[in-house]
Amino acid sequence: MSGDEVLLESRSMRAALSGRIEVLERVKPLDTQPNGLHLLTDDVAAYFEVSPQVIQALVFDHRTEIESYGYQLLSGQRLASFKTSSGIQSRARQLALFNRRTVLQVAMLLRGSDIARQVREQLLDLEAAARFFPVDNPFRGLPQAVDGSVAELAATALRGVVGTTVIPLLNALLEQSNLQEVTLAELSWQLARVEQAALGEAAASAQRGLRLLRYTDEETEEGAGAPGSDERE
């Protein structure tokens, strides 16, 4: 059985890859609703280049699994509140909402769509790469003598990134969650965008600190070895 077939058939494998929502945009731009978080059935169908009826049938067959990743069918007061807060225009009495994780689940379940097949290929490539290439440690190999100073500099850089980027982002997302029922998956996706920036800034600060410490050591050695440095006036 091919990897693609295993992904189509194995719920546990789909669960293991359910957080890799970045592959959706790699295959094709994802057009969300104005709130930037949700898609309607027609949006999902357009992404996968199939009819809305195909998406509806897939949701019917796998409702429990897809709901566990954030799929919602709104009606009544919940629908009215959502329309007001999100700006989505619809006269429907019920509205199916997908987030990026549910779209990814559709990709891992949908047969007969070339876009879905490409998404599965991307997922399988990522899974294979993760097996053989460990995550690099940007601080590996630094001299023991400067570990403490470099760690302090890196921590300072991370605190700066958290204060200027992560905290404002969290505040904005929490405000949205009160209005639009943002899921934990959506919060994770948003925060993942700043993770690399934080790590990159920490590594850069560590390297700058290392260069500064080396320069200071060299200046000290040169001063100690200069003629007359030990003579008293």
pLDDT per residue over 37-65, tens digit each? Answer: 899 999 999 999 999 999 999 999 999 99
Q: What dihedral angle (degrees, nearest 10) is formed by the CA atoms of 12, 185, 101, 59?
A: 80
Q: How far apart are CA 25 and CA 233, in angstroms?
A: 72
| pLDDT at residue 178 is higher than 50 | no
More confident residue, 102 or 208: 102
Q: How far apart are CA 46 and CA 55, in angstroms?
A: 10
More confident residue, 151 or 119: 119
Weakest-pLDDT range from 3-17, 104-118, 192-206: 192-206
Q: CB–CB of 48/113 below 8 Å?
A: yes
| pLDDT at residue 224 is higher than 60 | no
| pLDDT at residue 187 is higher than 80 | no
Q: CB–CB of 92/5 below 8 Å?
A: no
**Mean pLDDT on 126-134:** 69
Q: What is the pLDDT of residue 89?
A: 76
Cα maximum dimension of the chain: 94
Q: Residue 122 — very low, low, confident or very high, per pLDDT cuts 50/70/90?
A: very high
Q: What is the pLDDT of residue 132?
A: 56
Q: CB–CB of 69/101 below 8 Å?
A: yes
Instruction: Return the H-helix or E-strand segment holding 94.
Output: strand 94-97
Q: What is the pLDDT of residue 69?
A: 94
Decide: residue 99, CB within 10 A, 0-12 exposed, 13-18 middle, 19+ buried: buried
| pTM beyond 0.85, yes or no | no
Concatenating the DSSP letter of every residue in 121-167 gives HHHHHHHHHHHH-PPP-TTTT--GGGHHHHHHHHHHHHHHHIIIIIH
